[in-house]
Amino acid sequence: MYWAKHRFLSAFLRGILLFLILGCSAIASAKSYTNCFVAGEVSEYKVSWLKLPLAWSKTTTEACEENGRKLIRLRMVSKNYKAYNHIYKVNDVTEVIVDPQTALPVRLDFVLNEGGRHKSHLTRFDHTKGEAVYIDRLANTTNTVKIAKDARDVVTFLYASRNWDLEALTKDTHQIYVDGKVNKMGMKLGKKKKLKIPGLGKVECVQLEPIADFDGLFLRQGRIFFWVSKTKHRMITLTEAKVPVGKIKVRLHKVSGTGNKFWDKKK
């Protein structure tokens, strides 16, 4: 039972790691995605299983520059609480360098350490040539993958979706780059309800269910539901995973950033 629980937790954390921030404002111009990326934005989540605190996850964004290009660095970290180190240790880090003008990834660095399972790979994207170079550090291999010129990894796809209408987003099947392969993913729009968020009170949210069966994104067993705020600057407020060993929840714990965003407290 313990092993099954933590195996599901590790898979679920990988999903959260790549699906932490999903925002879809009213339909905006697709010519520039700079409004989708807020430098200095920090979101923190707490993971629980049957109301027991198991892990936390944190995402940060910052401006950076490479070869004269103004870019955005997205960094996501997921770790279990120290009390569970002897049972199943989780330490995952994902870093994406993205062009905020096009919302296309420049480089993706992924490191996974979960119990006895480890991954470490780097991807460099060349959208002009329509290819991605995938470097597996542990296997010491390099592969070139053909991609569409507008191909995105999960993280940049979700940030870019802040420029798209939610209902339109769920009507299409999307090509997503994960672990050196291009996969398909769909989304299903669900019910609406108000959720209580720490420091923010009740926030109106809508439910989304990702439809995907490839490794590294969502659980192959059970179902996952994401509750997304209907505010102007949308965020995932709650994630629920129904798995054979119970229910796992990831709640938005704290959000901070710059500018007049939805998380700013009212006087």
Structural domains in the chain plus CATH codes: 2-255 (2.40.360)
Residues 116-144: what's their mean pLDDT? 95
pLDDT above 70: percentage of residues in the chain: 80
pLDDT of residue 144: 96
For residues 98 and 151, what is the distance between their CA atoms, to the nearest angstrom? 12
Q: In the predicted model, is pLDDT for residue 245 greater than 80?
A: no
SS3 76: strand
Q: In the predicted model, is pLDDT for residue 130 greater than 80?
A: yes
Is pLDDT larger for residue 89 or for residue 197? 89
Q: In the predicted model, is pLDDT for residue 19 greater than 90?
A: no
Task: Tell me the pLDDT tens digit for each residue of 69-120.
Answer: 999 999 999 999 999 898 889 999 999 999 999 899 999 999 999 889 899 9
Is pLDDT larger for residue 215 or for residue 152? 152
Q: Name the strand (E) or helix (H) holding 206.
A: strand 201-211
Is pLDDT larger for residue 75 or for residue 153? 75
User: Model confidence at 3, in pLDDT bands (50, 70, 90)?
Assistant: very low
Lowest mean pLDDT among 45-49, 90-94, 146-150, 218-222: 218-222
Task: Tell me the pLDDT tens digit for each residue of 157-187.
Answer: 877 777 777 777 778 777 888 888 888 888 8
Specify whether the CB–CB gap between 251 and 57 falls below 8 A. Answer: no
Predicted TM-score (pTM) of the model is 0.81
Q: In the predicted model, is pLDDT for residue 21 greater than 60?
A: no
pLDDT of residue 53: 92
Our measurement of the distance from residue 166's CA atom to the centroid of its chain's CA atoms, rounded to an integer in Å, reads: 17
The amino acid that residue 213 corresponds to is D
